[in-house]
A and B are shown apart, each in its own frame.
Chain A
Amino acid sequence: MTESGSREDVEIKLSVNGRPVAAAVEPRTTLAGLLRDELGLTGTNIGCDTTSCGACTVLLDGRAVKSCTVVGAQAHGRSVVTIEGLADGDRLHPVQRAFHEHHAVQCGFCTPGMVLAAVSLLGSAPGPLTEQDVRLALKGNLCRCTGYHNIIQAVLAVANTQAVPAVSNGDE
């Protein structure tokens, strides 16, 4: 078999929630599949599986991506943060706390992706944010329950009142 025709597993090394991970993945395995099925990190939800709903959002090198539309092999050498990696021990991340305080969660299915999309936004926009900024930044995340209002309020509360700590990004 020619080298370029190989469908063999791909050896990858990455950091997941600050810990080094080595894995052999089938080329067609998505990052969502790797996280959920191989690493047991089922906080990353799969909603649509077609790049539309954002439930599968994780941070790749600090930026939100839809993990149903990234193959695991693309994460080689990079750092991934999932909802499981956000809290510092028992201390919730400010965005998680704000979601709690603003009742921004109903069934919770969209929540991990919503929170990570918000963390990505806050990491890329240091200044104060308007409601429109937040709505546009969360446009790739669908919520079928809340009507978005409380989610937007939660994100605005963090953006405009608190200092957001950087999310652990590499393998320390």
Chain B
Amino acid sequence: MIPAAFGYRRAGDLADALIRLGQGGVTVLAGGQSLLPALKARTARAETLLDIGHLTELSHITDNGSHLAIGATTRHCDLAASDLLRERLPSLAGAAALIADPQIRHMGTIGGSLAHADPAADLILAGIALDASVVLARRDGVRVIALRDFVLGAGRTAIEPGELITEVRVAPDTGPWSHRKFHRDALEWAVVAVAVSSGRVAISGLAPVPVRAPGVEAALKRGAGAAEAAALADAGTDPPTDRTAGADYRRHLARVLTRRALIEIGVAP
């Protein structure tokens, strides 16, 4: 599994990274846990990798009062172990702890996860439940976009050429949470997964990007029990049938995982 040859540039700092990105011809390398397997399998190609994985100025978790700011190169293991996150955003720390295995969590970053936009990405799922937003920087400016508008489809995002994810912003949410995944084996991406945080419910595996379950959220607001609310988990969706699972099975998983998640956070059965 030897990838096609590519060049390598180590970004000096964020400003240097943005300049090089603006010049084009480079592919950002963060943790490499999605990009390198794809390059090795030759399902992706790169002219030159621009390594930002070591940039400590992008690796931080800061409490800004109304929101927590998480730097793009913050690794999954650091999200999972952060006392600040565990206190103020436990569902995000919990989601990070459930990604792949410790080795992958030691390298993989939140920015890389979002940019890679796998339909089953756990941090996207948790972030959609939390109404997270994404900060995109380019040489000549910065914009902030809701995560819901950032993920456009499987592997597709709103990142424009020359833009880098620098930060993820999430309002604190200390309410009860649950993150449940169904996968076929230990390192498999989830077929269907459900993230619940304070009555907000997001589900992956029903569409190319994780979706909110408005029917479930409304049912919870009017005091429905877990079974009644979870029966609406797949309402209004049109799940795919592929080699992993059929549409009906995905619907079934969504309802079962949602019910279990709701019971876990204390909703009456």
Contact = CB atoms under 8 A, between A and B. Distances in A.
Interface of A: 2-8, 10, 26-28, 30, 49-52, 54, 57, 60, 63-66, 68-71, 73-74, 76-77, 117, 120-121, 124, 137, 139-141
A65 B102 CA distance: 8
A139 B48 contact: no
Contacts of A3: 9
A30 B39 CA distance: 12
A71 B1 contact: no
Contacts of A121: 102
B8 interface: yes
B103 A71 contact: no
A28 B47 CA distance: 11
A8 to B, nearest CB: 7
Given A5-B25, A73-B8, A77-B54, A140 B102 contact: yes
A57 B101 CA distance: 12
A74 B106 contact: no
A140 B9 contact: no
Interface of B: 1-10, 20, 23, 25-26, 29, 32-33, 36-37, 39-41, 47-51, 53-54, 77, 81, 100-104, 106-107, 186-187
Contact of A140 (B10, B20, B187): B187
B7 A64 contact: no
Contacts of B47: 4-5
B107 A71 contact: no
A92 B41 CA distance: 38
A111 to B, nearest CB: 16
Given A66-B104, A69-B37, A140-B101, A7 B6 contact: yes
9 contacts: A4-B7, A7-B7, A26-B5, A27-B49, A50-B1, A51-B37, A54-B101, A73-B10, A74-B29
Contacts of B106: 60, 63-65, 120
A45 to B, nearest CB: 14
Contacts of B3: 28
B102 A64 contact: yes
Given A5-B48, A140-B103, A50 B40 contact: yes
